[in-house]
Structure 1
Amino acid sequence: MNCKKFYNLLYCKTYISINVMKKYYCFLIVAITIFTNLSSQTIDATLIELNSVDDSSPRYMVEKNNKLYFSAKDNIHGRELWSLDLASKEAFLIKDINPGYNGGLQFSNHVFVNDILFFSASDGVNGYELWRSDGTESGTYMVKDINISGSSSIENMISYNGNLVFSADDGINGQEIWISNGSENGTYLLKDIKVGPDDSDIADIFEFNGNLYFSADNGINSRELWVSDGTPGGTSILIDLSVDYNGVVDGNNFIIFDNHFYFLAGENSFEYHLWKSDGTAAGTSIVKEIYSSMGLTFGAVTNNYFIFSALTNGIGREIWVSDGTNSGTQLIKDIFPGFPSGINLQNRQFAILNNKVYFLANDGVNGNELWVTDGTSNGTQIVKDIFPGSHTSGIVNLTSNGQYLIFAAQENYNSPTSLWKSDGTMAGTIEIIQIDLNKDYGYTMQFLEVNDKFYFQGADKTLNGIEIWETNGIPENTALTVDINHRRSSNPIPAYSDRFITPLNDKSVMFAKDGLHGAEPFSTNGTVNGTFLLKDIMPNDDSSIDLNQIPDFNFKKAGGKLFFRALDPLYGYELFMTDGTSANTSIVKNIAPGAESSIVESFLFIEYNDDLYFKANDQVHGGELWRTDGTETGTFMLKDIYLGPGHGIENANYRDGLNYHTVMNGLLYFNADDGVENAIWKTDGTESGTVKAISIPSSGNNDNGPVVLNSSNGKLYFATNPNNTSYGYFSLNVSDGTQSNITTLGTWLSPVHFEYNIIYNNEFYFMVRDGFGLGLMKTDGTVNGTVMVKGGMERSYVKYMGICGPYLYFSVGEYNEFDSELWRTDGTADGTIRIAENELRNYTCIENKLAYLDGVYGDNLWITDGTNKNSVAINVLNGEQLDNNYVRKIESYSHNKIYFISPTLASGEELYVAGVSEILNVNDYNTQTANSEDKIIIYPNPTKGFFTITSEENLILYNLEILDFSGKNILRKDIGSKSANFDISNLSKGLYIVKIKTTESVITKKIILN
């Protein structure tokens, strides 16, 4: 029996014969009855990921069978082993070797031996040891715990004769040379060159003519050249070049040319000469005494000569050429005349193109730039001064594919180290695209050639962070290959805001961070491509707003435009406007001189007759009421209510939940202080028409005067504090807008919750609190019509009040907690019922149905029509699925789309948008006309897969949908006739819901597949 817990009920699927099936029907009917009130729908959502800037910082890329292997981090795991399929462009984490954020890989190179990848990793238990991988999770494991007391410090890995040769420290013999065939028993110390616990410091391993060569120090001969055939007996010193000193130094570049390898070596520590070897002691000899004062050299090989660098007295480090003979070995050119070096010690970049060698050099005039040589002095010259003048272009990773050179370089201080190519000429040395290739803080990027493309690590200057890119040398074919780490959040909404996305015309506007800019205004039409930055008001990554401090409803629509407060680097906080386009997103007017701010944090925005009325301070008159039509000339102070620098307007949008304004009979009523008293004022939009309307004598120091609440049918509702209480407003009053016609509708002894009030069916609704809890009140503007709708709600605070469809919804709860109960009312006591309870929040009206979040079910999205409720599952079409359908915040509903915020491990906290047509009517499972269910027959039921659905009367079956027990749509088929046949034999056995739409209704039935 297969059982699943669903909404605290245990449902079991069992396989039983038809003869005994009837015994279970009672249970199934009960289950379906419960399901109709707790059903689930599914909507398809699109992730609009604004911020993809986090870095995966890929390192040590290698290729095998058209796949890249590398280490990377995705902010879910630490640095681990990944693969990238170059055909599908899909990246996969091969294995989370060290679970969690610590990472299993750090500084390991990756080396293939046949089809097995070897690398160094730590699982958090054994230290950094030798690992192997065949590209699968199960085929990725530690080869051997070489150092059981710590890490084995694996280095110098090289593939040799089907084995891996490397250096390691087993904690007993020091850092020595090891060999492995990929098995634990086949991994062993090849030779303890420096006998005992000290290191022999293996370095510079390379293969030549079937043998391995490297430098090592055995403690007797100092650092010398060694040879190995992969066996202990075949591993020995090749030749002792210096009796008392190191014959060679570590970090050398052995140059293979004409069946010999060449290197610098010396008989003492300050004179090094060019040597060559055929791999035998007898065949190892000096080529030329060049008296280099340093044993390090680097170079490149052409068809008939090779180039190397050497540091000599009086000349410095410069470029040399050799054909392998004494006479054919000579200084090519003193690029930086005199003792200063033309070739930097750290310059190990040499590349071949068309039998010429390209390298980096400094002539003392142009800085460190790209040079070329054909082995002659005249043929050695600068290719291009990329960063003009004495500055260096900082060329990194000079690489050739035989057709062109590719490298990273910087052309000026204002540009990043970017992607360049060269055909070897000045004109053909150009920037491919501007992308930051030097952002990984000290880790050298690489160019890996695969199938005529280079793959490299780069940081898009806009959105993606350090990721893998590709190019064939053509700008339009240079693009991001894969974005592995994009977890950083765009923070589209502030932590304390209930709404932040505002509809405007055919779009919506919001504030967000894309990783390149700070919090700035964005526009979206609900699609990925239709979401874009409107304006970078504060340059770079500074924000024009503070996402964590601004109050709710930052945008205010007026006259087809959205107005908002924003910080400008030149003007401070001022009024801005947008029509949803970048061209028309701008400051309206610099009201306060210079960088002084005119719009304070507690701002007041009011729409009246298609203009915006707002509180502003021009630093002369104090905070006063201004108006604007969206133009600079049409923006002016309406009236200096409090003469001089005093503030005539103190209130703000929704501070303490109060509006402080309303429009009635074509006039705007608002609260203001003229320096004499706080009173209710009105305006017709002119200075002369802005006058005091209602004045109430103060009852004491705690009385802040009358406060505008709302209006309906020519009745202005306002609150007063006649008892001078410190707990707020306790009295409700009504007026026709004049001083002479004021009626007190009621005064309560306990707090009155005017902060959530609303006009519903032309009546004013609000909440009061007494010893029994909260009560819903309403008034028609008369004393007798001021009545309790329903009381006795055992909660202390109102959390929400709004109209959706035919009902008024409200929620109640406790201070600093989620809402405890969601109610709806039709204005009568019997029609006031509780719909849901426990951890509720975030309400949005969608097509006459209320959407909200229920924390009991894991902050899932629910919808209700005021009678039934549905949970809504979310299917993300273009990203990681949400964890248990978790939604952090419902943002808004506009243009038949719902916007919401959800976090995932892969993307962080981002914006999602979903069409609502997929949300089934909450009554779809229950709604059917009288006797219509009897007119539809499904047979056979139970079924083994095939069934027929038919109408016994003249009902046309429009379509059929089959849903599983979670409410997910499994099958949909159009019918258009009175009967149809169906096959569901491919579904799992169990109970399904069949939903049939007919000419009369939507009918639901059950079908059992066994």
Structure 2
Amino acid sequence: MTRRYPRWLATAGACVLFSACGPLEEPPALEVPSTAIAPLEEDSGRRHHPERCEPPILVADLTPDGNSFVIEQLEVDGALFLINLDFLRSTFSLWKLEDVSEGRRRDPEFRAVLLKGELSVEPRGLVRVGRTLFLTLDDGIHGRELWKSDGTPEGTVLVEDLNPFGDAFPFSPTLVPGERTLYFVADDGRHGAELWRSDGTKRGTRLVEDIAPGPASASPGPFVVDGHRLLFGADDGVHGRELWRSDGTRGGTRLVEDIAPGSESSTPERLVRVGNHLTFFTADDGVHGRELWRSDGTRGGTRLVEDLRRGPESSDVESMVAVRRTLYFTAEDGVHGRELWASEGCEEDTRLVEDIRPGPEGSRPFELTPLGGKVIFTADDGVHGIEPWRSDGTRRGTFLLADTQPGPAMEFSPPTFLTAAEGKVFFYAFAPATGFEPWVTDGTRTGTHLVKDIRPGPGNSISGDPDPIHPIRGGAAFRAFDGDHGSEPWWTDGTEEGTMMADLVPGPGSSSPASFIAVGRWVYFMAADVTVGSEPWALPLACFPKGQDSH
């Protein structure tokens, strides 16, 4: 295929750093550096080096005369599988993209394989078990059923027609990958929505247990994988919706604990695994309100962690994230408002980390994001407005990282899209001098700074409805607009000099990139240029630094 190499832009300049001590000041406006734009090169004998950071190249034109839109995508065994929507034809298809260069350092070659096409109903639920892709798909004959693919058209097949009378997945599919087994919730038309398992063969696909006997549905979920077993909520029609466990066998599937005794439901939600064999979740036992619970999968090891808001009122535990052996979460204890809490699973080690905004209003921590042994989040202390914070679980180790928008007023968007890469957290934030731009933190004040003022001055390079930040190793890829080149793909290592872009549509036109994902030597994404609509492109993984854990 003819290779097209778009123009790309790299800039150099100093980073903006905050002082480690004393009051935080408004960052000074950046001096706009000069830019160097490499000209677009047509196919002129040039060879591409995936081990060097070079401009992205077009991988394939999946939808000639139309636009592609990625619904879902997943890496399996070094290849990219994606569900594609053809806007022009309003049809869906399953594709496999792979680098078939056979280790050659130069002149990469890609192959796009159509696995299943011309689907009128959207496939859903891509998951990987070993080297096999599973998904739910309606081929127009069997209804929505379980399918698998080995990456070939002939190996993309129906696993089993579980419900000959209709859809086995009439609801949003729940597919849970185990080490060697796929667990899922399906309705075969006789047992209701129940727990199933599959190894990818018809013989190895079976109902695990009819938890709610007969046509009633136990509706298992949400799930958490705890070693070789599952913990989940389910309703057997007798005990209400309670916590269950399963090892994939009928005998090993049982009620863990009837937390709200009798037919009442405790409704386990927000299951988060911490450490080796401890799962935190929220539940309502009918006495303490909805509070934080823990379980090791046994009845004796399932108990209320602490009644954070004393009495029958709920503490409304939310935003639960695991950071090593500690669970961080937000809750309202009725005194301090919504604040940051931490627990290792016992009442004595469950504590309010810091009353960031003293009084009953609360700082409303949000977007809790693990970074090494710490957590990065946004909060409002009542003085600085909503800003980035960090915590190591201690009061002294909980502090404001940067006052990106000085003062308490939120003139524009607060910091958002906190995204963990290796050793860093990237986010978007507004500053009066630079507008809404990408920022980065390593969990220290001096390491929290504007990545680059991509659209120099107070204008925004990030839209008011921003595209997500995509972590790639120790860097990030995202979509931005610099005022001259339209909305284009950008990538960064967290420094200004390491922030670059590719001008796929030269001039003010936009390629509107989306759906970045690292697979093998490449970072694939969807974008348009002057010759094709939105299609898959590949950027060398070498454009992104190898990160490291932050301690």
Shared fold (TM-score greater than 0.5)? yes
Q: 2:117 matched to which residue of 1?
A: 97
Q: Is 1:119 aligned with 2:135? A: yes
- Give the Cα separation in 1 of the matches to 2:162 and 2:233: 22
CA 1:480 to 1:198, structure 2 compared with 1: closer, same or farther past 3 Å? farther
Deviations 1:809-859 (A, max 9, x none): xxxxxxxxxxxxxxxxxxxxxxxxxxxxxxxxxxxxxxxxxxxxxxxxxxx
- Give the Cα separation in 2 of the matches to 1:907 and 1:264: 46
Note the 1:451-462 alignment, pairs <5 A: 452=474, 454=476, 458=479
- Give the Cα separation in 2 of the matches to 1:183 and 1:480: 46
Residue of structure 1 aligned with 2:197, choices 167, 179, 182 = 179
- Give the Cα separation in 2 of the matches to 1:279 and 1:239: 9
Amino acid at match of 2:360: F
Is contact 2:291–2:314 with CA below 8 Å preserved after alignment?
no
- Give the Cα separation in 2 of the matches to 1:463 and 1:145: 51
CA 1:104 to 1:266, structure 2 compared with 1: closer, same or farther past 3 Å? closer
Deviation at 1:288, TM superposition (A): 2.4
Q: 1:220 matched to which residue of 2?
A: 238
RMSD across aligned positions (CA): 4.1
- Give the Cα separation in 2 of the matches to 1:312 and 1:287: 14
Residue of structure 1 aligned with 2:149, choices 125, 130, 133 = 133
Deviations 1:111-154 (A, max 9, x none): 11001111223334444332222233333233233344236135
Deviation at 1:460, TM superposition (A): 5.8
- Give the Cα separation in 2 of the matches to 1:132 and 1:466: 35
Q: 1:420 matched to which residue of 2?
A: 439
Residue of structure 2 aligned with 1:355, choices 364, 373, 391 = 373
Deviations 1:259-318 (A, max 9, x none): 422233332176234332222112223332223615543333445643222232233322
Q: Is 1:399 aligned with 2:399? A: no
Deviation at 1:482, TM superposition (A): 12
Q: 2:364 matched to which residue of 1?
A: 343
Structure 2, unpaired ranges of 5+: 1-42, 45-63, 102-107, 455-460, 513-529, 535-551
- Give the Cα separation in 1 of the matches to 2:129 and 2:503: 26
Deviation at 1:234, TM superposition (A): 1.3
Q: Is 1:200 aligned with 2:223? A: no
Q: Which has the larger radius of gyration?
A: 1
TM (norm. structure 1) is: 0.38
Q: 1:62 matched to which residue of 2?
A: 74
- Give the Cα separation in 1 of the matches to 2:158 and 2:462: 36
Deviation at 1:73, TM superposition (A): 3.5
Q: SS of 1:216's equivalent?
A: strand
CA 1:254 to 1:354, structure 2 compared with 1: closer, same or farther past 3 Å? closer
Amino acid at match of 1:92: A
CA 1:189 to 1:426, structure 2 compared with 1: closer, same or farther past 3 Å? same
CA 1:207 to 1:330, structure 2 compared with 1: closer, same or farther past 3 Å? same
Q: SS of 1:110's equivalent?
A: strand
Deviation at 1:231, TM superposition (A): 1.2
- Give the Cα separation in 1 of the matches to 2:329 and 2:255: 25
Is contact 2:416–2:428 with CA below 8 Å preserved after alignment?
yes
- Give the Cα separation in 2 of the matches to 1:203 and 1:228: 12
Residue of structure 1 aligned with 2:470, choices 439, 443, 447 = 447
Is contact 2:486–2:511 with CA below 8 Å preserved after alignment?
no
Amino acid at match of 1:139: G
Amino acid at match of 2:318: T
Deviation at 1:376, TM superposition (A): 1.7
Deviation at 1:66, TM superposition (A): 3.8
CA 1:281 to 1:268, structure 2 compared with 1: closer, same or farther past 3 Å? same
- Give the Cα separation in 1 of the matches to 2:496 and 2:85: 28
Q: 1:874 matched to which residue of 2?
A: none
Is contact 1:368–1:393 with CA below 8 Å preserved after alignment?
no
Q: SS of 2:134's equivalent?
A: strand
Q: Is 1:264 aligned with 2:282? A: yes
Q: Is 1:320 aligned with 2:341? A: yes
Q: 1:81 matched to which residue of 2?
A: 94
Q: SS of 1:327's equivalent?
A: helix
- Give the Cα separation in 2 of the matches to 1:112 and 1:482: 34
- Give the Cα separation in 2 of the matches to 1:181 and 1:415: 51
Note the 1:156-555 alignment, pairs <5 A: 156-244=174-262, 245-250=264-269, 252-257=270-275, 259-268=277-286, 271-291=289-309, 293-294=314-315, 296-303=317-324, 305-343=326-364, 347=366, 349-388=367-406, 389-391=408-410, 393-411=413-431, 419-432=438-451, 434=454, 436=462, 445=468, 447-449=470-472, 452=474, 454=476, 458=479, 471-474=492-495, 514=509
CA 1:104 to 1:243, structure 2 compared with 1: closer, same or farther past 3 Å? same
- Give the Cα separation in 1 of the matches to 2:257 and 2:503: 50
- Give the Cα separation in 2 of the matches to 1:192 and 1:135: 33
Note the 1:7-46 alignment, pairs <5 A: none
- Give the Cα separation in 1 of the matches to 2:301 and 2:145: 38
Deviation at 1:343, TM superposition (A): 2.8
- Give the Cα separation in 2 of the matches to 1:294 and 1:475: 43
Note the 1:820-859 alignment, pairs <5 A: none
Note the 1:649-668 alignment, pairs <5 A: none
Deviations 1:859-905 (A, max 9, x none): xxxxxxxxxxxxxxxxxxxxxxxxxxxxxxxxxxxxxxxxxxxx98x
Deviation at 1:235, TM superposition (A): 1.1
CA 1:156 to 1:453, structure 2 compared with 1: closer, same or farther past 3 Å? farther
Is contact 2:318–2:331 with CA below 8 Å preserved after alignment?
yes
Deviation at 1:239, TM superposition (A): 0.8
Is contact 1:59–1:445 with CA below 8 Å preserved after alignment?
no
Is contact 1:364–1:390 with CA below 8 Å preserved after alignment?
no
Deviation at 1:184, TM superposition (A): 3.3
CA 1:452 to 1:315, structure 2 compared with 1: closer, same or farther past 3 Å? closer
Deviation at 1:446, TM superposition (A): 6.2
- Give the Cα separation in 1 of the matches to 2:430 and 2:189: 45
Mean Cα deviation higher: 375-384 or 299-308: 299-308
Note the 1:472-871 alignment, pairs <5 A: 472-474=493-495, 514=509
Amino acid at match of 1:150: D
- Give the Cα separation in 1 of the matches to 2:181 and 2:285: 35
Deviations 1:679-714 (A, max 9, x none): xxxxxxxxxxxxxxxxxxxxxxxxxxxxxxxxxxxx
Deviation at 1:412, TM superposition (A): 6.6
Deviations 1:28-60 (A, max 9, x none): xxxxxxxxxxxxxxxx99xxxxxx9x9745354
Q: Which structure is higher in strand share?
A: 1
Amino acid at match of 2:167: G
Q: 1:150 matched to which residue of 2?
A: 167
Q: SS of 1:139's equivalent?
A: coil
- Give the Cα separation in 1 of the matches to 2:433 and 2:80: 33
- Give the Cα separation in 1 of the matches to 2:187 and 2:496: 47
Amino acid at match of 1:80: S
Deviation at 1:400, TM superposition (A): 2.5
Amino acid at match of 2:278: H
- Give the Cα separation in 1 of the matches to 2:375 and 2:88: 44
Deviation at 1:214, TM superposition (A): 0.9
TM (norm. structure 2) is: 0.66
- Give % identity: 29
- Give the Cα separation in 2 of the matches to 1:413 and 1:249: 46
